[in-house]
Amino acid sequence: ENCGDAPCVDYTFIGNSPVNKPYTVAEMREKFLSFFEERDHLRVNPYPVVARWRDDLMITIASIVDFQPYVTEGILPPPGNPLVVSQPCIRFEDIDLAGYTAGRHLTFFEMGGHHAFNYEGEPQIYWKDQTVRYHHELLTKDLGVPDEMVTYKEGLWSGGGNAGFDLEGCVGGLEVSTLVFMMYRVIGERMEPMPIRVVDTGYGMERWAWLSQGSPSAFHAIYGPVLDEIMGWAGLSPDVELLQETA
């Protein structure tokens, strides 16, 4: 079996990116948003990182938080259906891992999310098959990643008060996406069905840029010119082997 994700497998993309060209984070964001716009998703502006519309959550930890609980509970309609957003997120729980995993974990990052809201008794927008199809098409057709390098791993994701089974998309040892099929609301330690089946996806924009550049760490992909300047002043160069061993 191949879990597809570090640390159970080594990174194979560092110095050998499978993507057809290198992208900055800004370029990858636009690539992602345009891809889904061309497939009839409404591009939505990002929400604040302070979740002012919630009294149970201080910060925006994922793109789906933009639409919890009012849209996911059917209280308000979504701004578009389907829609796409690149949402700045903060996760304090990853502070201890930031740096230690070569940038795989960040306390502040952008989550690209394409979302669909399927209402009972209405025509389905799309669900599991089309969600995976979109993801695979972006990776393999648009970015040129060979099919055999893409691994999908099943799991369960919970956040912001909802949960569902998911597929994690991994390439070259790096988890780049989580495709969640939200069907439950989480109440304490129990789960009950939601009134809407929600496609909740998270594409790590910094990880996708890192994958495309094959750089020694995600920090080089995000802050490349700044790091190059600092390294030049200090007369240093990155120890790629050390970064791979500790990531």
Residue 103 has pLDDT above 80, yes or no: no
Q: Is 151 a domain residue?
A: yes
SS3 108: strand
Number of domains in the chain: 1
Contacts of 71 (CB under 8 A, 6+ apart): 77, 78, 117, 196
Higher-confidence residue of 215 and 81: namely: 81
Average pLDDT, integer, range 164-189: 95
Distances in Å between the alpha carbon of 79 and those of 82, 83, 84, 86?
Answer: 9, 8, 10, 15
Domain region containing 139: 25-246
Residue 98 has pLDDT above 90, yes or no: no
Q: Is residue 98 part of a domain?
A: yes
- Mean predicted lDDT score pLDDT of the chain: 92
* Segment 227-247, tens digit of pLDDT: 889 988 999 887 777 766 666
Phi, then psi, of 135 in degrees rounded to 5: -60, -45
| Mean pLDDT calculated for residue range 172-183 | 96
Residue 168 lies in a domain: yes
CA–CA dist 238, 227 (Å, integer): 10
Q: Is residue 7 part of a domain?
A: no
What crossing angle do the helices spanning 205-213 and 218-234 adopt, rounded to 10°? 60
Q: What's the CATH code of the domain at 120?
A: 3.30.930.10
pTM given for the model: 0.92
